[in-house]
Protein backbone atom coordinates (compact mmCIF):
# COMPACT_ATOMS: atom_id res chain seq x y z
CA UNK A 1 0.00 0.00 0.00
CA UNK A 2 2.89 2.33 0.80
CA UNK A 3 4.36 1.68 -2.66
CA UNK A 4 1.00 2.50 -4.28
CA UNK A 5 0.66 5.70 -2.29
CA UNK A 6 4.06 6.85 -3.58
CA UNK A 7 2.93 6.61 -7.22
CA UNK A 8 2.12 9.99 -8.81
CA UNK A 9 -0.87 8.66 -10.76
CA UNK A 10 -2.45 7.34 -7.56
CA UNK A 11 -1.89 10.61 -5.71
CA UNK A 12 -3.45 12.60 -8.56
CA UNK A 13 -6.36 10.17 -8.84
CA UNK A 14 -7.05 10.40 -5.10
CA UNK A 15 -6.82 14.19 -5.18
CA UNK A 16 -9.20 14.29 -8.17
CA UNK A 17 -11.75 12.16 -6.30
CA UNK A 18 -11.51 14.47 -3.28
CA UNK A 19 -12.07 17.43 -5.59
CA UNK A 20 -15.25 15.83 -6.96
CA UNK A 21 -16.54 15.21 -3.42
CA UNK A 22 -15.84 18.80 -2.38
CA UNK A 23 -17.49 20.17 -5.52
CA UNK A 24 -20.62 18.08 -4.99
CA UNK A 25 -21.20 18.64 -1.28
CA UNK A 26 -19.67 22.12 -0.87
CA UNK A 27 -19.95 23.71 -4.33
CA UNK A 28 -19.11 27.24 -3.21
CA UNK A 29 -15.91 26.03 -1.55
CA UNK A 30 -15.12 23.89 -4.59
CA UNK A 31 -15.48 26.86 -6.94
CA UNK A 32 -12.97 28.78 -4.82
CA UNK A 33 -10.34 26.08 -5.44
CA UNK A 34 -9.78 27.30 -9.01
CA UNK A 35 -6.52 29.15 -8.14
CA UNK A 36 -4.92 25.83 -7.16
CA UNK A 37 -5.47 24.37 -10.62
CA UNK A 38 -4.51 27.63 -12.30
CA UNK A 39 -1.29 27.84 -10.27
CA UNK A 40 -0.20 24.35 -11.31
CA UNK A 41 -0.86 25.08 -14.99
CA UNK A 42 1.03 28.38 -14.64
CA UNK A 43 4.03 26.54 -13.14
CA UNK A 44 4.11 24.15 -16.09
CA UNK A 45 3.73 26.96 -18.63
CA UNK A 46 6.68 28.68 -16.96
CA UNK A 47 8.98 25.74 -17.76
CA UNK A 48 7.61 24.58 -21.15
CA UNK A 49 9.51 27.09 -23.32
CA UNK A 50 13.00 26.47 -21.88
CA UNK A 51 12.47 22.68 -21.96
CA UNK A 52 11.48 22.79 -25.64
CA UNK A 53 14.36 25.13 -26.48
CA UNK A 54 17.01 23.01 -24.76
CA UNK A 55 15.69 19.71 -26.11
CA UNK A 56 15.37 20.92 -29.71
CA UNK A 57 18.70 22.75 -29.78
CA UNK A 58 20.66 19.95 -28.11
CA UNK A 59 19.06 17.30 -30.31
CA UNK A 60 19.38 19.06 -33.68
CA UNK A 61 22.75 20.71 -33.09
CA UNK A 62 24.18 17.41 -31.91
CA UNK A 63 22.84 15.59 -34.97
CA UNK A 64 25.00 17.53 -37.46
CA UNK A 65 22.73 16.40 -40.32
CA UNK A 66 20.26 19.04 -41.45
CA UNK A 67 18.86 16.71 -44.11
CA UNK A 68 17.69 14.42 -41.33
CA UNK A 69 15.97 17.33 -39.61
CA UNK A 70 14.09 18.00 -42.84
CA UNK A 71 13.15 14.32 -43.20
CA UNK A 72 11.84 14.13 -39.65
CA UNK A 73 9.79 17.31 -40.14
CA UNK A 74 8.25 16.10 -43.42
CA UNK A 75 7.50 12.62 -42.08
CA UNK A 76 5.92 14.10 -38.97
CA UNK A 77 3.64 16.42 -40.94
CA UNK A 78 2.59 13.62 -43.29
CA UNK A 79 1.74 11.39 -40.35
CA UNK A 80 -0.08 14.21 -38.55
CA UNK A 81 -2.28 14.98 -41.56
CA UNK A 82 -3.18 11.33 -42.13
CA UNK A 83 -4.19 10.70 -38.53
CA UNK A 84 -6.05 13.99 -38.01
CA UNK A 85 -7.97 13.45 -41.25
CA UNK A 86 -8.91 9.98 -40.03
CA UNK A 87 -10.11 11.52 -36.74
CA UNK A 88 -12.30 14.05 -38.55
CA UNK A 89 -13.87 11.38 -40.77
CA UNK A 90 -14.47 8.93 -37.89
CA UNK A 91 -16.16 11.64 -35.80
CA UNK A 92 -18.28 12.76 -38.77
CA UNK A 93 -19.55 9.24 -39.42
CA UNK A 94 -20.20 8.54 -35.73
CA UNK A 95 -22.15 11.73 -35.01
CA UNK A 96 -24.31 11.22 -38.10
CA UNK A 97 -25.13 7.68 -37.05
CA UNK A 98 -25.88 8.46 -33.41
CA UNK A 99 -27.70 11.78 -33.99
CA UNK A 100 -27.19 13.08 -30.40
CA UNK A 101 -28.71 16.50 -31.18
CA UNK A 102 -31.76 15.32 -33.10
CA UNK A 103 -35.09 16.37 -31.61
CA UNK A 104 -33.76 19.17 -29.40
CA UNK A 105 -35.32 21.84 -31.68
CA UNK A 106 -33.35 24.70 -30.14
CA UNK A 107 -34.09 28.24 -31.29
CA UNK A 108 -30.67 29.85 -31.72
CA UNK A 109 -32.16 33.34 -31.37
CA UNK A 110 -33.41 32.52 -27.88
CA UNK A 111 -30.01 31.43 -26.54
CA UNK A 112 -28.34 33.61 -23.89
CA UNK A 113 -24.95 34.42 -25.43
CA UNK A 114 -23.49 36.44 -22.56
CA UNK A 115 -21.55 33.44 -21.23
CA UNK A 116 -19.78 32.85 -24.54
CA UNK A 117 -18.70 36.44 -25.24
CA UNK A 118 -15.12 35.69 -24.15
CA UNK A 119 -14.80 32.85 -26.66
CA UNK A 120 -16.47 34.51 -29.63
CA UNK A 121 -14.32 37.64 -29.22
CA UNK A 122 -11.19 35.49 -29.36
CA UNK A 123 -12.58 33.55 -32.29
CA UNK A 124 -12.67 36.65 -34.45
CA UNK A 125 -8.89 36.75 -34.23
CA UNK A 126 -8.52 33.23 -35.65
CA UNK A 127 -7.67 32.51 -39.28
CA UNK A 128 -4.98 31.09 -41.55
CA UNK A 129 -2.94 34.29 -41.94
CA UNK A 130 -3.00 35.25 -38.21
CA UNK A 131 -2.08 31.66 -37.31
CA UNK A 132 0.95 31.61 -39.63
CA UNK A 133 2.07 35.09 -38.61
CA UNK A 134 1.62 34.13 -34.98
CA UNK A 135 4.40 31.56 -35.32
CA UNK A 136 6.91 34.39 -35.71
CA UNK A 137 7.49 36.15 -32.36
CA UNK A 138 7.95 39.91 -32.15
CA UNK A 139 11.40 39.39 -30.68
CA UNK A 140 13.61 36.35 -30.18
CA UNK A 141 13.20 36.50 -26.41
CA UNK A 142 9.49 37.19 -26.83
CA UNK A 143 8.95 33.60 -27.95
CA UNK A 144 9.65 32.47 -24.38
CA UNK A 145 7.10 34.86 -22.90
CA UNK A 146 4.16 33.51 -24.91
CA UNK A 147 2.05 30.44 -24.02
CA UNK A 148 2.01 29.10 -27.61
CA UNK A 149 4.37 26.25 -28.46
CA UNK A 150 5.08 26.99 -32.13
CA UNK A 151 6.96 30.33 -31.69
CA UNK A 152 9.29 28.61 -29.23
CA UNK A 153 9.79 25.70 -31.62
CA UNK A 154 10.46 28.14 -34.47
CA UNK A 155 13.25 30.07 -32.71
CA UNK A 156 14.65 26.83 -31.28
CA UNK A 157 15.09 25.32 -34.74
CA UNK A 158 16.70 28.53 -36.05
CA UNK A 159 19.12 28.60 -33.13
CA UNK A 160 19.93 24.88 -33.49
CA UNK A 161 20.66 25.17 -37.21
CA UNK A 162 22.90 28.17 -36.56
CA UNK A 163 24.82 26.34 -33.81
CA UNK A 164 25.20 23.28 -36.03
CA UNK A 165 26.74 25.46 -38.73
CA UNK A 166 29.51 26.55 -36.35
CA UNK A 167 31.09 23.10 -36.49
CA UNK A 168 33.54 22.35 -33.68
CA UNK A 169 33.05 25.81 -32.18
CA UNK A 170 29.39 25.03 -31.64
CA UNK A 171 30.11 21.96 -29.50
CA UNK A 172 30.69 24.15 -26.43
CA UNK A 173 27.23 25.69 -26.87
CA UNK A 174 25.67 22.26 -27.46
CA UNK A 175 27.22 20.87 -24.27
CA UNK A 176 26.05 23.91 -22.30
CA UNK A 177 22.50 23.53 -23.62
CA UNK A 178 22.60 19.83 -22.71
CA UNK A 179 23.59 20.69 -19.13
CA UNK A 180 20.84 23.33 -18.93
CA UNK A 181 18.25 20.81 -20.12
CA UNK A 182 19.10 18.58 -17.13
CA UNK A 183 18.52 21.55 -14.82
CA UNK A 184 15.13 22.32 -16.33
CA UNK A 185 14.02 18.69 -16.19
CA UNK A 186 14.91 18.66 -12.49
CA UNK A 187 12.66 21.70 -12.07
CA UNK A 188 9.89 19.75 -13.83
CA UNK A 189 10.37 17.03 -11.23
CA UNK A 190 9.94 19.59 -8.45
CA UNK A 191 6.74 20.94 -10.03
CA UNK A 192 5.27 17.43 -10.29
CA UNK A 193 5.28 17.24 -6.51
CA UNK A 194 2.33 19.65 -6.45
CA UNK A 195 0.44 17.94 -9.29
CA UNK A 196 -2.10 16.36 -6.86
CA UNK A 197 -2.88 19.81 -5.43
CA UNK A 198 -3.43 21.19 -8.94
CA UNK A 199 -5.65 18.25 -9.86
CA UNK A 200 -7.70 18.71 -6.68
CA UNK A 201 -8.26 22.41 -7.36
CA UNK A 202 -9.14 21.95 -11.03
CA UNK A 203 -11.69 19.19 -10.40
CA UNK A 204 -13.25 20.86 -7.36
CA UNK A 205 -13.77 24.02 -9.41
CA UNK A 206 -15.30 22.13 -12.37
CA UNK A 207 -17.88 20.29 -10.28
CA UNK A 208 -18.50 23.19 -7.88
CA UNK A 209 -18.88 25.78 -10.66
CA UNK A 210 -21.15 23.79 -12.98
CA UNK A 211 -22.80 21.63 -10.33
CA UNK A 212 -23.24 17.87 -10.07
CA UNK A 213 -25.98 18.19 -12.66
CA UNK A 214 -23.34 19.11 -15.23
CA UNK A 215 -22.12 15.54 -14.97
CA UNK A 216 -25.50 14.34 -16.28
CA UNK A 217 -26.65 17.09 -18.66
CA UNK A 218 -26.47 16.36 -22.38
CA UNK A 219 -25.63 12.79 -21.43
CA UNK A 220 -26.22 11.42 -24.92
CA UNK A 221 -23.65 13.74 -26.45
CA UNK A 222 -21.13 12.98 -23.73
CA UNK A 223 -21.66 9.23 -24.03
CA UNK A 224 -21.33 9.35 -27.81
CA UNK A 225 -18.14 11.41 -27.66
CA UNK A 226 -16.52 9.25 -24.98
CA UNK A 227 -17.32 6.07 -26.91
CA UNK A 228 -15.97 7.54 -30.17
CA UNK A 229 -12.80 8.69 -28.43
CA UNK A 230 -12.27 5.28 -26.85
CA UNK A 231 -12.97 3.49 -30.14
CA UNK A 232 -10.53 5.77 -31.98
CA UNK A 233 -7.77 5.04 -29.47
CA UNK A 234 -8.35 1.29 -29.44
CA UNK A 235 -8.96 0.79 -33.17
CA UNK A 236 -6.99 3.50 -35.01
CA UNK A 237 -4.16 3.95 -32.52
CA UNK A 238 -4.23 0.22 -31.85
CA UNK A 239 -3.68 -0.50 -35.54
CA UNK A 240 -0.86 2.06 -35.76
CA UNK A 241 0.78 0.63 -32.63
CA UNK A 242 0.50 -2.91 -34.03
CA UNK A 243 2.11 -1.76 -37.28
CA UNK A 244 4.88 -0.07 -35.28
CA UNK A 245 5.50 -3.22 -33.26
CA UNK A 246 4.55 -1.78 -29.87
CA UNK A 247 1.80 -2.62 -27.41
CA UNK A 248 -0.82 0.12 -27.06
CA UNK A 249 -1.85 -1.14 -23.62
CA UNK A 250 1.76 -1.13 -22.41
CA UNK A 251 2.18 2.39 -23.79
CA UNK A 252 -0.92 3.54 -21.89
CA UNK A 253 0.46 1.97 -18.72
CA UNK A 254 3.81 3.67 -19.31
CA UNK A 255 2.24 7.15 -19.49
CA UNK A 256 -0.43 6.53 -16.84
CA UNK A 257 0.84 9.39 -14.64
CA UNK A 258 0.48 11.82 -17.53
CA UNK A 259 -2.99 10.47 -18.41
CA UNK A 260 -4.30 11.09 -14.90
CA UNK A 261 -2.80 14.60 -14.72
CA UNK A 262 -4.25 15.52 -18.13
CA UNK A 263 -7.67 14.18 -17.11
CA UNK A 264 -7.67 16.31 -13.97
CA UNK A 265 -6.41 19.54 -15.55
CA UNK A 266 -7.96 19.07 -19.05
CA UNK A 267 -4.73 20.39 -20.55
CA UNK A 268 -2.03 18.37 -22.29
CA UNK A 269 0.37 21.26 -21.77
CA UNK A 270 0.72 20.27 -18.12
CA UNK A 271 2.65 17.11 -19.07
CA UNK A 272 4.61 18.29 -22.13
CA UNK A 273 8.06 18.47 -20.45
CA UNK A 274 7.55 15.20 -18.59
CA UNK A 275 6.24 13.46 -21.72
CA UNK A 276 9.33 14.48 -23.67
CA UNK A 277 11.55 13.10 -20.93
CA UNK A 278 9.65 9.80 -20.85
CA UNK A 279 9.82 9.34 -24.61
CA UNK A 280 13.55 9.88 -24.52
CA UNK A 281 13.74 7.26 -21.76
CA UNK A 282 11.90 4.85 -24.11
CA UNK A 283 14.85 5.05 -26.49
CA UNK A 284 13.59 7.66 -28.96
CA UNK A 285 16.34 9.96 -30.18
CA UNK A 286 16.38 13.38 -28.56
CA UNK A 287 16.23 15.25 -31.88
CA UNK A 288 13.08 13.36 -32.92
CA UNK A 289 11.39 13.91 -29.56
CA UNK A 290 12.31 17.60 -29.63
CA UNK A 291 10.72 18.08 -33.05
CA UNK A 292 7.72 15.74 -33.05
CA UNK A 293 6.24 16.40 -29.60
CA UNK A 294 6.12 20.24 -29.70
CA UNK A 295 4.94 20.20 -33.33
CA UNK A 296 2.32 17.60 -32.47
CA UNK A 297 0.87 19.90 -29.83
CA UNK A 298 -0.34 22.13 -32.66
CA UNK A 299 -0.55 19.84 -35.70
CA UNK A 300 -1.51 16.43 -34.26
CA UNK A 301 -4.53 17.15 -32.09
CA UNK A 302 -6.56 14.04 -32.89
CA UNK A 303 -8.85 14.38 -29.88
CA UNK A 304 -9.52 18.01 -30.71
CA UNK A 305 -10.48 16.99 -34.25
CA UNK A 306 -12.91 14.41 -32.84
CA UNK A 307 -14.39 17.07 -30.56
CA UNK A 308 -14.72 19.80 -33.18
CA UNK A 309 -16.43 17.59 -35.76
CA UNK A 310 -18.78 16.10 -33.17
CA UNK A 311 -19.67 19.52 -31.75
CA UNK A 312 -20.30 21.20 -35.11
CA UNK A 313 -22.65 18.47 -36.37
CA UNK A 314 -24.35 18.15 -32.95
CA UNK A 315 -25.10 21.88 -32.87
CA UNK A 316 -26.44 21.68 -36.43
CA UNK A 317 -28.74 18.86 -35.38
CA UNK A 318 -29.83 20.67 -32.19
CA UNK A 319 -30.71 23.88 -34.08
CA UNK A 320 -32.28 22.03 -37.04
CA UNK A 321 -29.60 23.39 -39.39
CA UNK A 322 -29.42 21.13 -42.43
CA UNK A 323 -25.90 20.05 -43.41
CA UNK A 324 -25.78 18.07 -46.64
CA UNK A 325 -22.91 15.83 -47.66
CA UNK A 326 -21.14 18.65 -49.52
CA UNK A 327 -21.50 20.96 -46.53
CA UNK A 328 -20.19 18.31 -44.13
CA UNK A 329 -17.18 17.72 -46.36
CA UNK A 330 -16.66 21.49 -46.27
CA UNK A 331 -16.68 21.22 -42.47
CA UNK A 332 -13.85 18.69 -42.72
CA UNK A 333 -11.89 21.00 -45.03
CA UNK A 334 -12.30 23.96 -42.68
CA UNK A 335 -11.41 21.90 -39.61
CA UNK A 336 -8.22 20.65 -41.25
CA UNK A 337 -7.07 24.27 -41.01
CA UNK A 338 -8.77 25.66 -37.90
CA UNK A 339 -7.91 22.64 -35.73
CA UNK A 340 -4.22 23.51 -36.12
CA UNK A 341 -4.82 26.62 -34.03
CA UNK A 342 -5.98 24.66 -30.98
CA UNK A 343 -2.97 24.41 -28.69
CA UNK A 344 -2.79 22.07 -25.70
CA UNK A 345 -4.20 24.73 -23.39
CA UNK A 346 -7.51 24.16 -21.62
CA UNK A 347 -10.35 25.97 -23.38
CA UNK A 348 -8.51 26.52 -26.69
CA UNK A 349 -10.68 23.96 -28.49
CA UNK A 350 -13.81 25.93 -27.55
CA UNK A 351 -12.35 29.09 -29.07
CA UNK A 352 -11.51 27.19 -32.26
CA UNK A 353 -15.06 25.79 -32.32
CA UNK A 354 -16.42 29.36 -32.33
CA UNK A 355 -13.96 30.29 -35.09
CA UNK A 356 -15.00 27.27 -37.14
CA UNK A 357 -18.71 28.07 -36.91
CA UNK A 358 -17.95 31.65 -37.88
CA UNK A 359 -15.99 30.44 -40.94
CA UNK A 360 -18.78 28.10 -42.04
CA UNK A 361 -21.56 30.65 -41.76
CA UNK A 362 -24.27 27.96 -41.56
CA UNK A 363 -24.54 26.77 -37.96
CA UNK A 364 -25.31 29.71 -35.59
CA UNK A 365 -22.25 30.69 -33.56
CA UNK A 366 -24.52 31.44 -30.60
CA UNK A 367 -25.41 27.74 -30.39
CA UNK A 368 -22.05 26.93 -28.76
CA UNK A 369 -23.64 28.15 -25.51
CA UNK A 370 -25.47 24.80 -25.47
CA UNK A 371 -22.27 22.89 -24.74
CA UNK A 372 -20.41 25.49 -22.66
CA UNK A 373 -21.40 23.74 -19.44
CA UNK A 374 -20.05 20.36 -20.52
CA UNK A 375 -17.03 21.52 -22.51
CA UNK A 376 -14.64 20.65 -19.69
CA UNK A 377 -16.20 17.19 -19.43
CA UNK A 378 -15.68 16.63 -23.15
CA UNK A 379 -12.14 17.94 -22.72
CA UNK A 380 -11.45 14.97 -20.45
CA UNK A 381 -11.68 12.71 -23.49
CA UNK A 382 -10.15 14.97 -26.14
CA UNK A 383 -7.01 15.70 -24.12
CA UNK A 384 -6.56 11.99 -23.44
CA UNK A 385 -6.67 11.24 -27.17
CA UNK A 386 -4.27 14.12 -27.91
CA UNK A 387 -1.79 12.82 -25.34
CA UNK A 388 -1.83 9.24 -26.60
CA UNK A 389 -1.72 10.41 -30.21
CA UNK A 390 1.41 12.51 -29.74
CA UNK A 391 3.14 9.79 -27.72
CA UNK A 392 2.48 7.24 -30.44
CA UNK A 393 3.41 9.68 -33.22
CA UNK A 394 6.85 10.22 -31.70
CA UNK A 395 7.49 6.47 -31.53
CA UNK A 396 6.29 5.94 -35.11
CA UNK A 397 8.47 8.74 -36.55
CA UNK A 398 11.47 7.58 -34.49
CA UNK A 399 11.13 4.04 -35.85
CA UNK A 400 10.48 5.40 -39.34
CA UNK A 401 13.82 7.25 -39.09
CA UNK A 402 15.60 4.33 -37.35
CA UNK A 403 16.31 6.83 -34.58
CA UNK A 404 15.40 4.60 -31.66
CA UNK A 405 17.03 2.10 -29.35
CA UNK A 406 14.98 -0.98 -30.32
CA UNK A 407 16.07 -3.10 -27.38
CA UNK A 408 15.09 -0.40 -24.88
CA UNK A 409 11.77 0.30 -26.61
CA UNK A 410 10.85 -3.40 -26.84
CA UNK A 411 11.73 -4.04 -23.22
CA UNK A 412 9.33 -1.36 -22.00
CA UNK A 413 6.37 -1.26 -24.41
CA UNK A 414 7.22 -3.79 -27.15
CA UNK A 415 4.51 -6.05 -28.50
CA UNK A 416 5.08 -9.73 -27.80
CA UNK A 417 6.12 -11.53 -30.96
CA UNK A 418 6.70 -8.34 -32.96
CA UNK A 419 9.56 -8.51 -35.43
CA UNK A 420 12.17 -5.80 -35.14
CA UNK A 421 14.30 -4.60 -38.09
CA UNK A 422 17.29 -6.81 -38.81
CA UNK A 423 19.58 -3.82 -39.19
CA UNK A 424 21.43 -2.75 -36.08
CA UNK A 425 20.10 0.46 -34.60
CA UNK A 426 22.43 3.38 -34.17
CA UNK A 427 23.27 4.67 -30.70
CA UNK A 428 20.82 7.39 -29.77
CA UNK A 429 21.31 10.58 -27.80
CA UNK A 430 18.98 10.63 -24.83
Query: Is the alpha carbon torsion for 415, 417, 420, 424 positive or negative?
Result: positive
Q: What is the pLDDT of residues 44-61, one digit of tens each?
A: 778 778 877 887 787 777
Alpha carbon distance 35, 24 (integer Å): 18
Q: CA–CA distance from 162 to each of 51, 52, 66, 152, 286 (Å)? A: 19, 17, 11, 15, 18
Asked whether the beta carbons of 400 and 285 are under 8 A apart, the reply is no
- The pLDDT of residue 388: 95
Neighbouring residues of 372: CB distance < 8 A, sequence distance ≥ 6: 115, 116, 350
pTM above 0.95, yes or no: no
- The pLDDT of residue 24: 82
**Between 348-360 and 375-400, two packed helices, what is the crossing angle to 10 degrees?**
90
Does CATH place domain 2-413 in 1.10.1060.10? no
Taking 70 as the pLDDT cut, the residues of the chain under it are: 1-2, 4, 9, 62-66, 104, 106-131, 147-149, 206, 209-218, 337-338, 340-348, 350-351, 355, 358-359, 369, 372-373, 416-430
How many CB atoms are located within 10 Å of the residue 120 CB? 18
Asked whether the beta carbons of 378 and 222 are under 8 A apart, the reply is yes
Q: What is the pLDDT of residues 330-371, one digit of tens each?
A: 888 878 766 765 554 445 676 677 767 766 777 877 777 677
Amino acid sequence: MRRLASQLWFQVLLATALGVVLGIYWPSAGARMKPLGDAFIALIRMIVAPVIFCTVVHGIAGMRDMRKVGRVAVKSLVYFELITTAALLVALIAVNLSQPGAGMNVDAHAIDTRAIGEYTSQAREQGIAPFLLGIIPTTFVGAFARPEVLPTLFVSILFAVAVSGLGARGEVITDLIGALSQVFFRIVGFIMWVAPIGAFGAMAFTVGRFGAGSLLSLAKLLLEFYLVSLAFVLIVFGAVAYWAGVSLLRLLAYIRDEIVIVAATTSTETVLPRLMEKLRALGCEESVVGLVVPAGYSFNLDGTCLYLTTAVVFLAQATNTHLGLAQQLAVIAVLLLTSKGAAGVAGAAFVVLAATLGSLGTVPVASIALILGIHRLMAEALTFVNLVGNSLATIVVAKWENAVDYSLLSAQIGRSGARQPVRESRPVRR
